[in-house]
Amino acid sequence: MDHMLELRDICAYYGDKQVLFDVDLVIGKHRTLGLVGESGSGRSTLARVVTGLLKKSTGTVVFDGEVQGAKRSAEFYRRVQMVFQNPDASLNPKHRIGTILTDGMVIQGVSRADAMVRCRELITRMDLPEDTLERYPRSFSGGQKQRIALARALCTDPDFVILDEPTSALDVSVQRRMLDLIKEIREERGLTILFISHDLGVIRDICDDIAVLRHGVLQETGESAAFFASPKTDYGRELLKAVPRIEYE
């Protein structure tokens, strides 16, 4: 199988505190991998290592066959994007949505006018109001902000998207819609996704593969279906037992 992302022996630190311990992980092309774990288990940190945001780390990050150095290329940032955990903090309060969405494309060499056209398509696709581009972040709900963040991530037409708890700050009804949207866009664009969540119901619904992280140590990886049928580890079984039997169908 062709790998989109391959992580080898990843260790990460905040100051002297180590939060990731020798993590090895692969994500196949066009697959969605669910990274589960309790809050504080190091999932966001792993995302920061992959994207090169966290400098204090060791190990190897291989993206689409290329070993990544300390500094990521412009091409990497076009192909890899991320939606952050907290929708209220992920948009600069001082910029209009139009600026937030187009700046990245303009940096990539797209003209402002073309970028605006592409933005408008995305806005419509995301079911956001028509005047979205002229407005400031504060006037949107959490769910809308999350969709704007998703739109920003999709602007540069990436191949690989990291979604860090994209639905956990949202109401249940809004969650449903966000998940459907993610699934649709995944099919349309053939995205590879690293989907971070603590919600096994959501993971089961959306992921092909799963990886379980606990206190910065990877517990088990495998196909999602196999995990939900019978986890390989005690911790996996424990997690599964704790899930209320609400089915996401």
**How many chain residues bind another protein (CB under 8 A)?**
31
* Minimum distance, C-beta of residue 10 to ligand ADP, in the bound complex (Å): 12
Q: Which residue's structure tokens are 């690293």?
A: 194
* Minimum distance, C-beta of residue 126 to ligand ADP, in the bound complex (Å): 25
Interface mask toward another protein for 116-145; x: CB under 8 A: ------------------xxx-xx------
Where does this chain touch Mg ion (CB under 5 A) — which range of 40-48, 64-72, 102-110, 132-140? 40-48
Strand partners for 167: none
Q: From CA 249, how far away is CA 246, in angstroms rounded?
A: 9
Output the DSSP codes for 49-106. Answer: HHTT---SEEEEEEETTEE--SS--HHHHHHEEEE-S-GGGSS-TTS-HHHHHHHHHH
Nearest to 50 by CA among 6, 107, 102: 6
Q: From CA 107, how far away is CA 78, in angstroms rounded?
A: 10
135 binds, among another protein, Mg ion, ligand ADP, none (CB under 5 to 8 A by kind): another protein
| Pairing of the two strands 3-14 and 17-28 | antiparallel
95 binds, among another protein, ligand ADP, Mg ion, none (CB under 5 to 8 A by kind): another protein
Give, as ranges, the residues between 168 and 187 that touch another protein (CB under 8 A). none
Q: How many residues does the chain have?
A: 249
Interface mask toward ligand ADP for 2-21; x: CB under 6 A: ------------x----x--
- Nearer to ligand ADP among residue 57 and residue 132 (C-beta): 57
From candidates 19, 35, 36, 44, binder to Mg ion by CB under 5 A: 44
* Minimum distance, C-beta of residue 44 to ligand ADP, in the bound complex (Å): 3
Where does this chain touch ligand ADP (CB under 6 A) — which range of 35-43, 155-163, 173-181, 217-225? 35-43
Q: What is the DSSP letter of 130?
A: G
| Pairing of the two strands 192-197 and 160-164 | parallel
66 in contact with another protein (CB under 8 A): no
Phi, psi for 141 (deg, rounded to 5): -75, 170
93 binds, among another protein, ligand ADP, Mg ion, none (CB under 5 to 8 A by kind): another protein
Q: From CA 25, how far away is CA 10, in angstroms rounded?
A: 9
- Contact assessment for residue 29 and residue 58, using Cβ atoms and an 8 Å cutoff: no
Interface mask toward ligand ADP for 39-78; x: CB under 6 A: xxxxxxx---------------------------------
Contacting residues toward Mg ion, per CB under 5 A: 44
Task: List residues near ligand ADP by CB under 6 A.
Answer: 14, 19, 37, 39-45
